[in-house]
Amino acid sequence: MRKFLLLVLAGAIVIGLYTYVTPKLFQHETKPSLKDIRLATSTNGNPHPNNLSSVEQTILNVISNKCKRELLLKGELFNISKPDILTDLPLNVLNTHDFLPVKKGGFYEPENCEPLTRTVIIIPYRNREQHLKIIINNLHRILQRQQLKYGIFVIELSLPTTFNIGVLMNMGFLLANNISEYDCFVFHDVDLIPLDDRIAYHCDVSPKHMSAFNTKYAKVNIAKALPYSTYVGGVISLRGVDYKKLNGFSNAYFGWGGTDDDIEIRAKAAMIPFKRENQNIGRYYALPHQRDSNNTENLLKGSLFKSARKRYLNEGLNTVEKCCKRLSIVYKDLYVHVTVSCDENIVMNQLLNL
Ligand code: UDH
Ligand code: MN
């Protein structure tokens, strides 16, 4: 019995020392050493391999020291996340066991530290409720694990207009800027689920193609996991200042295809070409789906693409409000839902007059 009590006492002393000493390790550090990081991350039973990848280092470099300390103590950044793609996830619960409570509208900022940047996720949307439930729940988890201050905006195009990703992204950008100050913009397909916690939902100095490994294309070619080398479809991130330099997305692409190739050209024309996330990290699971109605293949995409460079300063972010208007904005429990209407005739007339 005495032995047992001694053991308990020794255990308590070790735990006490550990909890007292570990935070001290980080108190005056500006950059934690690898040894400290391993120490912090080994507590979750999933120790990190030999050294930090450049991506992890980037994440650590862009967040404040206090957030860094929180993040390292939790050790969560260094795990492969387990996305939940099977459960019927709720869209209307403020407080789930999977992530911390968020403010009405889905806004969140960490309690114990002040992030250096603010990220906003913009999701183009129509009639994909099942996908929306999955992405929203998974995004809150990864964004919170990265200690980010963030908002999530879902931008829906009202019927009967043919789907147009570009106008939705531009309207989302303007609206998010009206509501709060964001510096990093992530434009995110509703059906791509992040598979690795190290995918940085921060912005680099260059626009970035984040969905570098897409399971939909990996089925066809596992080595590439992308349809072609200049592809930037799926998930991209860029700073607000850079989005303005590109004049946003083109408004001209109604129907499926072309919008992403167009912004790739815009980025080159504006001398801020896209870089791509490391394919071992920028991994996304593509939720399966069929082609949507009201989003048939855009037969004009080839000819529009040819004039992309010439058009980019004349139509896009700076003209979207001439053809689209906001119908409603609803602060849902886990995201902001915006509905816009757009007039295809106005866009096409604008194009003829360029
Ligand atoms: N989107 C919607 N609703 C629509 C159309 C598009 O929400 O009706 C959004 C959504 O965010 C989606 C994104 O636009 O992730 C891109 O559209 P997409 O998912 O249709 O594009 P993707 O390249 O699909 O994935 C190509 C058509 C696949 C046909 C496969 C037939 N087997
Ligand atoms: Mn898709």
The residue ranking higher by pLDDT, 108 or 146, is 108
pTM: 0.82
Residues 193, 284 contacting (CB under 8 angstroms) = yes
Pocket residue to mutate for ligand 1, from 132, 290, 295, 338, most atoms within 8 A of Cβ: 295
Q: Which atom of ligand 1 is nearest to the CA of 233?
A: 23
Q: Which atom of ligand 1 is nearest to the CA of 127?
A: 3
Could you tell me if the CB of 194 is within 6 A of ligand 1?
A: no
Q: 234 CA to middle of ligand 2, Å?
A: 8
**Chain region(s) in the chain for CATH 3.90.550.10:** 70-352
Mean pLDDT of the chain: 82
Could you tell me if the CB of 128 is within 6 A of ligand 1?
A: yes
pLDDT band for position 29 (cuts 50, 70, 90): very low
Least confident window among 7-11, 120-124, 146-150: 7-11
pLDDT at residue 74, as a whole number? 60
Could you tell me if the CB of 276 is within 6 A of ligand 1?
A: no
On the question of pLDDT at 351 being above 70, the answer is yes
Q: What is the arrangement of strands in the sheet containing 118-125, beginning at the earlier edge strand?
A: 275-276, 208-209, 235-239, 184-188, 118-125, 149-157, 336-342, 324-331
Which pairing describes strands 184-188 and 118-125: parallel, antiparallel, or unpaired?
parallel
End-to-end Cα, the chain, rounded Å: 89
Rounded Cα gap, residues 97 and 277, in angstroms:
30
pLDDT at residue 21, as a whole number? 42
pLDDT at residue 285, as a whole number? 85
pLDDT band for position 218 (cuts 50, 70, 90): confident
| pLDDT tens-digit map of 253-300 | 999 999 999 999 999 999 999 999 988 888 888 888 888 889 999 999
DSSP track, 122-150: EEEESS-HHHHHHHHHHHHHHHHHTT-EE
Least confident window among 36-50, 203-217, 327-341: 36-50
Pocket residue to mutate for ligand 1, from 169, 188, 189, 228, most atoms within 8 A of Cβ: 189
Could you tell me if the CB of 353 is within 6 A of ligand 1?
A: no
pLDDT at residue 1, as a whole number? 63
> CB-side exposure of 195: number of CA atoms within 13 Å?
16
Closest-CA residue, ligand 1 atom 20, reads: 291
Residues 210, 237 contacting (CB under 8 angstroms) = yes
Give the mean pLDDT of 148-162: 97
Rounded Cα gap, residues 99 and 82, in angstroms:
13
pLDDT band for position 216 (cuts 50, 70, 90): confident
Q: 286 CA to middle of ligand 2, Å?
A: 7
For domain 70-352, give the fold: Spore Coat Polysaccharide Biosynthesis Protein SpsA; Chain A (3.90.550)
pLDDT at residue 289, as a whole number? 87
Residues 338, 175 contacting (CB under 8 angstroms) = yes
Rounded Cα gap, residues 354 and 342, in angstroms:
19
